[in-house]
């Protein structure tokens, strides 16, 4: 059997993109640019390694379908209705002002109105993937600018759908725009009714049946069929494939299985979406950067100024301080990935010439590449602009407005932090959750079985229904900010996978695992569990506790023996005089109110911490943590000085608040 030509070209694309991604990760550049550069190198304008561009584009279309599908699953009609004016007023203002500004400038330079408006569509969209990742890496997601930027990005993701519908009308493919617009609104109404009915009655029952039994095969196939069937239906109605995928995502978002489905689809989405960005790169003429650098730079500066001004006005109208508005605007200056999605039909319909398309791609790539730099320098830029152009009296007046926003910050702080996560709502999980509720500890439950999930929900607990091996499910449970995680399921292989998945997200959470058999203890400790409780030994402890009481042994002596047995991971009952090596590293640490003593392993990390001294990294100033000791290859460094360097594979012993340690943990990954 001979491999088709596309197979070899896919190997070239994937291998080249993997190498470029590694290089880009080292320099903290967006991954999207790595895929675009892969297409530029391997495509017809580059080395010509890939000739079947049409087949790559076909894979790219699947990527766009999955992209809109995931976007749809991340929203729900109820959620959209409750998001408030920050999304709809702020987002609508930013989009409208940008389109008006870009369209007006282009019209003044002689471009026809329809093309100017369409280019305004492309420019008003920012990169959700790049901005959210950059904000998360810099710990700014919960800041006021981070929240406002996220809200505007949500609106931009939504407004892409009507833009897709309006593009053919802008291109003049209508003899009667009024009737066509009414017919379009009628189709949209039909689709919304279908979303409501399917999300309320049909799809939840279908997914519930698909989740019965072991394995995810049926559930995966069902999700993909729903996505592709909806995409095919909308295409048959004269609309786009991507629009149907978006509505399919909305249908699933109305069910309790949304997070589980998102986590399953995510790998497919990322793989096929990478082909989309590679296909975009294949269309880029890299020589344009050499032939017209000043033109590209001028267009980039012009687009940036219009976007920053529009976003600043939109956020300021929402009565946010000018400083917050400027920070938000500087994070949204770049052109986004949805612009690529929208530009392709615009090119086919004649709203964009091939030259304008190449310039759009060049400006987009330049904006994406400079986003990390802009976010790193935003404070300096805002300080200079703010201090130079805003008088002190105006600044004080704007500060009085900030009191309203401080209330929103306190309200936002109610997101789960320092909570307990219970994985598995069987008998043990129920007892743990019940005890936590009685003690006033906030608790979240992850449960795969529909009946057990319903039981937890009836007890008033926040429940995520799905597989805890799915990292998306764990992120939705905020395991990165959890204090304790209890894994109380009976499947040993699943337990190992769950603990490993948790440790891929956080090194700070204290993981307690319940097991039936002693033989599994070492496996769980090796993959990252802090404590393993075997049921058979707990039964023995209860028996010898009652025996010793009958022999009138003092209660404090009995409790001391029980505590010693548990702290040594039941070594006394196993006949082991000392702790296993893995267990020794998992000893509980001193508890101080508001602070934690934690150990963090240093992996590849980011350049601002790894390879620098403690003083250069500013661990106390930037993160609020103190380094107590460093374990380097089994040798402990306890005399901490400012010039002591942090190296890869070190283990740091730290003192700080849970939030500070979590933030440092994210930068050490």
- Residues 232-265 pLDDT 10s: 888 787 777 777 888 888 888 877 777 778 777 8
5-376, CATH topology level: Na+/H+ antiporter like fold (1.20.1530)
Tell me how far apart the alpha carbons of residues 18 and 612 are, in angstroms, rounded to a whole number: 27
Sheet holding 635-637, edge to edge: 591-592, 595-601, 651-656, 626-632, 635-637
- Residues 418-469 pLDDT 10s: 789 999 998 888 888 888 887 788 899 998 887 888 888 888 888 888 888 8
**pLDDT score at 599:** 80
Does the fold of domain 591-667 match that of domain 420-584?
Answer: no
- Residues 109-147 pLDDT 10s: 888 888 899 999 999 999 887 887 777 667 676 677 888
pLDDT surpasses 60 at 66: yes
**pLDDT score at 655:** 85
**pLDDT score at 298:** 93
**pLDDT score at 611:** 77
Confidence band (pLDDT; 50, 70, 90) for 394? low
Tell me how far apart the alpha carbons of residues 369 and 366 are, in angstroms, rounded to a whole number: 5
Q: What is the mean pLDDT of residues 375-391?
A: 73
Confidence band (pLDDT; 50, 70, 90) for 402? very low
pLDDT surpasses 50 at 413: no
Count other C-beta atoms under 10 Å from residue 42's C-beta: 25
pLDDT surpasses 60 at 401: no
Q: Are 420 and 482 in contact (CB under 8 A)?
A: yes
Candidate from 40-44, 168-172, 360-364 with smallest mean pLDDT: 168-172
Tell me how far apart the alpha carbons of residues 488 and 424 are, in angstroms, rounded to a whole number: 5
Confidence band (pLDDT; 50, 70, 90) for 584? very low
pLDDT surpasses 80 at 309: yes
Tell me how far apart the alpha carbons of residues 252 and 226 are, in angstroms, rounded to a whole number: 9
Domains of the chain, by residue range, sit at: 5-376, 420-584, 591-667
pLDDT surpasses 50 at 588: no
Sheet holding 443-447, edge to edge: 463-465, 443-447, 420-423, 484-487, 510-515, 531-534
Q: Which two tokens stand for residue 304?
A: 């940036």
Average pLDDT, the chain: 79
* Single pTM value for the model: 0.66
Q: What is the mean pLDDT of residues 164-190?
A: 74
Candidate from 302-306, 355-359, 458-462, 616-620 with smallest mean pLDDT: 616-620
Candidate from 241-245, 510-514, 664-668 with smallest mean pLDDT: 664-668
**pLDDT score at 119:** 93
Identify which has the larger pLDDT, 570 or 186: 186
Helix-then-strand count for the chain, H and E: 31, 11
Q: In this structure, are strands 510-515 and 484-487 parallel, antiparallel, or unpaired?
A: parallel
**pLDDT score at 130:** 81
Confidence band (pLDDT; 50, 70, 90) for 97? very high
Tell me how far apart the alpha carbons of residues 90 and 88 are, in angstroms, rounded to a whole number: 6
Count other C-beta atoms under 10 Å from residue 557's C-beta: 10
Nearest C-alpha neighbor of 357 from the set 366, 367, 348: 348
Highest mean pLDDT among 55-69, 279-293, 582-596: 279-293
pLDDT surpasses 90 at 98: yes
Q: What is the mean pLDDT of residues 507-519?
A: 83
Confidence band (pLDDT; 50, 70, 90) for 386? low
Tell me how far apart the alpha carbons of residues 341 and 163 are, in angstroms, rounded to a whole number: 11
Instruction: Match domain 591-667 to its CATH number in 3.30.70.1450, 3.40.50.150, 2.60.40.10, 3.40.50.720.
Output: 3.30.70.1450
Confidence band (pLDDT; 50, 70, 90) for 416? low
The CATH number that domain 420-584 falls under is 3.40.50.720
Candidate from 146-155, 489-498, 597-606, 621-630 with smallest mean pLDDT: 597-606
Q: Which two tokens stand for residue 176?
A: 């009667």
- With a pLDDT cut of 70, the percent of the chain lying above it is 82
Element (H, E) at 518: none
Confidence band (pLDDT; 50, 70, 90) for 346? confident
**pLDDT score at 211:** 76
Tell me how far apart the alpha carbons of residues 484 and 502 are, in angstroms, rounded to a whole number: 11
């Amino acid at each position: 059997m001979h491999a088709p030509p596309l197979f070899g070209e896919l190997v070239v694309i994937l291998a080249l993109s993997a190498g470029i991604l590694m290089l880009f990760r080292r320099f903290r550049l967006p991954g999207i640019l790595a895929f675009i550069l892969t297409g530029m190198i391997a495509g017809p304008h580059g080395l010509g390694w890939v000739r079947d561009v049409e087949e790559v584009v076909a894979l790219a279309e699947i990527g766009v379908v999955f992209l809109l599908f995931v976007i749809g699953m991340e929203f729900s009609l109820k959620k959209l209705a409750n998001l408030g004016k920050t999304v709809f007023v702020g987002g609508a203002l930013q989009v409208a002002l940008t389109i008006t500004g870009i369209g007006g400038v282009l019209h003044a330079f002689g471009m026809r109105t329809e093309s100017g408006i369409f280019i305004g569509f492309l420019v008003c969209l920012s990169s959700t993937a790049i901005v959210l990742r950059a904000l998360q890496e810099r710990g700014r997601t919960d800041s006021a600018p981070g929240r406002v930027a996220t809200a505007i990005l949500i609106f931009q993701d939504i407004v892409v759908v009507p833009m897709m519908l309006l593009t053919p009308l802008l291109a003049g493919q209508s003899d009667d725009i009024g009737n066509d617009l009414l017919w379009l609104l009628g189709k949209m109404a039909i689709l919304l009714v279908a979303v409501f009915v399917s999300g309320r009655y049909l799809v939840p029952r279908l997914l519930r049946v698909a989740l019965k039994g072991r394995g995810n095969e049926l559930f995966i196939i069902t999700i993909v069929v729903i996505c592709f069937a909806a995409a095919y239906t909308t295409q048959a109605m004269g609309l786009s494939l991507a629009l149907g995928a978006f509505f399919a995502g909305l249908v699933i978002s109305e069910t309790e299985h949304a997070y589980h489905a998102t986590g399953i689809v995510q790998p497919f989405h990322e793989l096929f979406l990478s082909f989309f960005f590679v296909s975009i790169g294949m269309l880029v003429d890299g020589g344009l950067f050499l032939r017209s650098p000043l033109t590209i730079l001028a267009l980039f500066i012009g687009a940036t100024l219009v976007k920053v001004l529009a976003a600043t006005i939109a956020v300021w109208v929402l009565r946010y301080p000018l400083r917050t508005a400027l920070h938000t605007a500087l994070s949204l200056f770049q052109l986004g990935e949805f612009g690529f999605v929208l530009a392709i039909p615009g090119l086919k319909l004649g709203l964009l010439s091939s030259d304008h398309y190449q310039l759009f791609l060049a400006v987009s790539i330049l904006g994406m590449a400079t986003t990390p730099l802009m976010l790193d320098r935003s404070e300096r830029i805002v300080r200079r602009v703010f201090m130079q152009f805003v008088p002190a009296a105006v600044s004080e007046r704007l500060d009085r407005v900030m009191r309203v926003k401080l209330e929103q910050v306190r309200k936002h702080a109610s997101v789960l932090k320092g909570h307990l996560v219970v994985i598995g709502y069987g008998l043990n999980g129920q007892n743990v959750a019940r005890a936590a509720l009685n003690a006033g500890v906030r608790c979240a439950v992850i449960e795969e079985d529909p009946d057990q999930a319903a039981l937890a929900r009836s007890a008033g607990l926040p429940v995520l229904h799905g597989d805890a091996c799915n990292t998306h499910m764990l992120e939705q449970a905020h395991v990165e900010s959890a204090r304790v995680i209890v894994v109380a399921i009976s499947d040993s292989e699943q337990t190992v996978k769950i603990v490993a998945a948790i440790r891929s997200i956080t090194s700070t959470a204290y993981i307690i695992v319940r097991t039936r058999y002693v033989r599994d203890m070492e496996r769980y400790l090796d993959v990252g569990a802090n404590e393993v409780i075997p049921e058979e030994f707990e039964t023995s402890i209860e028996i010898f506790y009652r025996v010793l009481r009958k022999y009138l042994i003092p209660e404090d002596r009995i409790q001391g023996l029980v505590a010693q047995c548990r702290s040594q991971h039941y070594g006394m009952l196993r006949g082991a005089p000392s702790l296993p090596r893995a267990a020794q590293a998992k000893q509980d640490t001193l508890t101080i109110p508001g602070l934690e003593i934690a150990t963090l392993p240093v992996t590849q990390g980011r350049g601002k911490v790894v390879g620098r001294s403690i003083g250069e990294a500013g661990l106390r100033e930037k993160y609020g943590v103190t380094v107590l000791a460093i374990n380097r290859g089994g040798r402990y460094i306890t005399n901490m000085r400012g010039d002591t360097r942090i190296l890869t594979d070190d283990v740091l012993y730290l003192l700080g608040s849970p939030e500070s340690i979590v933030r440092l943990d994210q930068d050490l990954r």
